[in-house]
Amino acid sequence: MESASIPSLALPVGVTLDRYIMHKQSSFPFATGELSQLLRDIALAGKIIHREVNRAGLIDLTGGMGSQNVQGESQQKLDVIANIRFKRALKNGGEACAIISEEEEDIIYTGNQNGKYIVAIDPLDGSSNIDVNVSIGTIFSIYRRVTPVGTLPTMVDCLQSGRKQVAAGYILYGSSTMLVYSTGCGVNGFTYDNSLGEFILSHPDITSPKDGSIYSCNDGNWELYDESVKAYLTDCRRKQYTARYIGSLVGDFHRNLLKGGIYLYPPTVKSPQGKLRLLYEGFPLAFLAEQAGCIATDGTQPVLDIDPHSLHQRTPLYIGAPVMVQALSRMFQVSRSKFQVGFATSNLEPGGLAETWNRRAAPLKPET
C-alpha cells in the first residue's frame, strides 16, 4: 500500500486528451467515434505545428513566401506548412469530406466522400507574429454534413449556421502550447507536455468571468472606428481598464477568456465588413465564448446567428465578458435610435448610410 507521503513524489500526470475524448464519447451511446478521431487528427497536426513553430528560427521557416492568400494577405512559410499539415491529417484521417481553409479559395475535397464532417480552419492565425516569437494559433470549426454521405460535399454543407457547429476550438502556440475545445458541453483546455508528447487536461470546464477590465483592439485604427465604438473605448480609458492587444486573435481571445475582457475588431472604412473571417474565426470563437459564458456579437446580432453566404465572409467581432459586451451593445443601440435607422455593416461602405450620418451629423455651416 502507498504511504501518504509517496504520491507527492510521483504526482499523477493527469488526463490525456485522448483519454478525455474517449471518456466523453462513451457518454453518447450512439457515438461512432468518428468525431473523436477527427479531434485527435487535429490534435496530431497541432503537435506537428508546435514542433515546427518551436524550431522555425533554426531551420529557416520564418519569413514570407512572397505569395498572397485568397484574402490578399502575404503568406508566411509557416502559414503554408500549417495548411499542408492540417490538410494531410484530415485527408488521412478519413472523417472529414471537405475542408475550408483560410489559405485556399475553394472548398478542399478530401477524397473521403464517406466522411461525415466538414472542417473550417485557419491553420495559422496571427502569422505576422511568427518572426518575433509572439503567440500564434490555429482555429477550427466542425460541422456534420447535410448532404448524403457518399456524395460530393457542396456549399450547403460548408455554409451552415454557426449554431450547427458540433465542435470548435483552437490551439495556442504560446509560452506553452494549449488546445482548447468544446463539443457543446462546456470548454476544456489541455496543455501540451513536450516530454510526453501529450496534451494534458489543465483547464477543465473553463468559465469566463462575467465582467472584466481588459479591452483588446487595434488602437491604430481609432480614427476609422464608428462613434459608438469610440465612446465605449473612451469609457474603458476613463475607467482605467487595461489595454492588451497582441494582434493574434487566438492569444487575445484566450487571455480575455481566462481573465475577463473584451476583444473588438470593428468594421472600418478600410474593411467595411470587418477584417476577421466568419467561418474559421468568428463562428468557432463565438461557439467557445457562449459555451464559457461569454457573448459574441457583430454589433447587431449574435455572431452565431449570422447567415453565412460565402466561404471567406468577413464579420465585425465584439467578443468577451457579458457585462462588457452588453455595455458596448447599449452604445450601439443608442447610436441606432439616434439615427433611427438599422445599423448594418454595409452601411459603412463608401456612400453607405454611415457616411450619410456623418454628413448629417457634421456641424451646420453658416448659410452665407
Q: Which of 33, 94, 247, 293 binds ligand AFP (CB under 6 A)?
A: 247
Instruction: Please measure the distance between the N-terminal and C-terminal CA atoms of the chain and give it in whole angstroms.
Output: 97
Q: Which of 46, 93, 115, 126 binds ligand AFP (CB under 6 A)?
A: 126
| 102 neighbors 71 (Cβ within 8 angstroms) | yes
183 or 248: CB nearest ligand AFP: 248
Q: Is residue 226 at the binding interface for ligand AFP, with CB under 6 A as the rule?
A: no
Q: Measure the CA–CA gap between 250 and 62, rounded to whole angstroms.
A: 20
Q: Is residue 218 at the binding interface for ligand AFP, with CB under 6 A as the rule?
A: yes
Quote the least distance from Cβ 317 to ligand AFP, whole Å.
Answer: 9
C-alpha cell at 363: 456641424
Quote the least distance from Cβ 138 to ligand AFP, whole Å.
Answer: 11
20 or 86: CB nearest ligand AFP: 86
Residues 6 or more apart whose Cβ sits within 8 Å of residue 133:
57
Sheet holding 136-144, edge to edge: 108-109, 96-101, 117-125, 136-144, 165-173, 177-182, 188-193, 198-203
157 or 252: CB nearest ligand AFP: 252
Q: Which of 34, 125, 198, 290 binds ligand AFP (CB under 6 A)?
A: 125
DSSP 217-267: --GGGGGGS-HHHHHHHHHHHHTTPEE---S-HHHHHHHHHHH-EEEEE--
Binding mask 67-86 for ligand AFP (x = CB under 6 A): ------x-------------
Quote the least distance from Cβ 134 to ligand AFP, whole Å.
Answer: 10
Quote the least distance from Cβ 159 to ligand AFP, whole Å.
Answer: 20
Q: Measure the CA–CA gap between 314 and 266, rounded to whole angstroms.
A: 11
C-alpha cell at 88: 494531410
Q: Which of 40, 50, 87, 275 binds ligand AFP (CB under 6 A)?
A: 275
C-alpha cell at 28: 453518447
Q: Is residue 94 at the binding interface for ligand AFP, with CB under 6 A as the rule?
A: no
- Residues at the site binding ligand AFP, with contacts judged by CB under 6 A: 73, 125-128, 218, 247-249, 252, 275-276
